[in-house]
Amino acid sequence: MGFKKNMLRFEEQLSDAESETDAEPPILLQFPFLHLPSEIRLRIYNLVLFTPTRKSASKRTGGNVGSSAKKSKPLAPFSHRIALFLVSRQIHDEATHYFYSTQTFRVFPIQDFLRMPTIRALPPRHRSSITTIEFIVGSSWTAPPKSWVVNQGLGLHDMELVRTLKVFVQCDPSHPVFEGFRISKDYYTNFCGKLLHQILERLPGLVQVEFDAWPSVEKNGPLMTRLLTETRDAQKKVLWGPDRGWTDTQYDTQYDTHEKHEHNDVDVAFDGLRAYSPGVLEALSNSLQTVKLES
């Protein structure tokens, strides 16, 4: 039976119900939801999944680094989302696929306490719905977490729909200002380059890599140069994110007059502190500003 006939029967029964004088409530036909065009169903899923009922829920759920934090949508109450997923098998499959395909999930956790799980924590059955993931480097640059390992358990090989990998660089520890604090000049550059290489070779449908960074990161610095080399060697398209403002034709140097931000050693150190421990930023911000003025 077509959608129009279902709607006509539904409207006729509504009309009959309005004219009923009996005390017993009428039994109505179910609304033919699954006969709606898929575009309309997706809009309804969006309303149910991402409409918070409290003002506090409309705020970001933590996180201040990268696309995964800045573009995260506020979520509807957990009970609303679960209720939608339990309606029927078809609605469950459509709604869960829509939910996971519209989110940006991080490859590894960092210290800004975003509530969204990383890809390793996701149920394997939902990995095939993901379309965008994000790799954030710079966090804990003095001692990279041992859990940052690309292996079978990460599930990258299951993410056949991932077309975009976003790479956000918080700081480049190869800069001279980090001398005496880092393990070695090239250690973190090689560490991140190896991870990116392994990520790229395990994503079966990846098309493009989008790079972004904090203001002190140089486009032609050692870390960015290594990451760009890995991406181009893997024959992936390079895109530029909105925060840093890089372009294909821009040749970035520390003293480029076309830069939006003029950065120096203090700026680099400031970003290094933010990447290592968010709590340190507030404690040292005043002293860093003083050093900047004196320099």
Asked whether residue 287 is assigned to any structural domain, the reply reads no
| 119 neighbors 127 (Cβ within 8 angstroms) | yes
3-state secondary structure of 133: strand
Q: CA torsion sign, 149 to 150 to 155 to 156? A: positive
pLDDT grade, residue 155 (50/70/90)?
Answer: very high
Asked whether residue 188 is assigned to any structural domain, the reply reads yes
Please name the residue that has the structure tokens 């095939």: 128
- The C-alpha atoms of residue 133 and residue 131 are separated, in whole angstroms, by 7
Q: How many residues does the chain have?
A: 295
The number of folded domains in the chain is 1
Mean pLDDT across 163-187: 90
Asked whether residue 196 is assigned to any structural domain, the reply reads yes
- The C-alpha atoms of residue 188 and residue 143 are separated, in whole angstroms, by 9
pLDDT of 215 > 80? The answer is yes
pLDDT of 40 > 90? The answer is yes
Give the strand order in the sheet containing 104-106.
104-106, 132-137, 164-169, 208-213, 237-240
What is the 3-state composition of the chain as percent helix, strand, coil, each rounded to the nearest 5?
45, 10, 45
Give the residue numbers spanning the domain of 61: 34-248
Asked whether residue 244 is assigned to any structural domain, the reply reads yes
Q: Helix count (H) and strand count (E) of the chain?
A: 9, 5
Task: Find, among 169, 177, 214, the residue nearest to 295 by Cα.
Answer: 177
Asked whether residue 294 is assigned to any structural domain, the reply reads no
| 45 neighbors 98 (Cβ within 8 angstroms) | yes
Mean pLDDT across 78-84: 88
Structure confidence at residue 250 (pLDDT): 66
Asked whether residue 94 is assigned to any structural domain, the reply reads yes
- The C-alpha atoms of residue 76 and residue 51 are separated, in whole angstroms, by 5
Tokens of 87: 């309606």
- Global confidence as pTM: 0.78
Kindly tell me the burial class for residue 24, based on how many C-beta atoms sit within 10 Å of its own C-beta (0-12, 13-18, 19 or more): exposed
| 239 neighbors 210 (Cβ within 8 angstroms) | yes
Phi-psi map region of 245: left, alpha, beta (phi>0 left; psi -120 to 50 alpha):
left
Backbone Cα Rg of the chain: 25
User: Which comes out higher in pLDDT, residue 243 or 277?
Assistant: 243
Least confident of 147-151, 228-232, 275-279: 275-279
Asked whether residue 118 is assigned to any structural domain, the reply reads yes
Apex 40 CA angle, 39 and 42, nearest 5: 65
| 9 neighbors 29 (Cβ within 8 angstroms) | yes
Asked whether residue 291 is assigned to any structural domain, the reply reads no
- The C-alpha atoms of residue 170 and residue 216 are separated, in whole angstroms, by 8
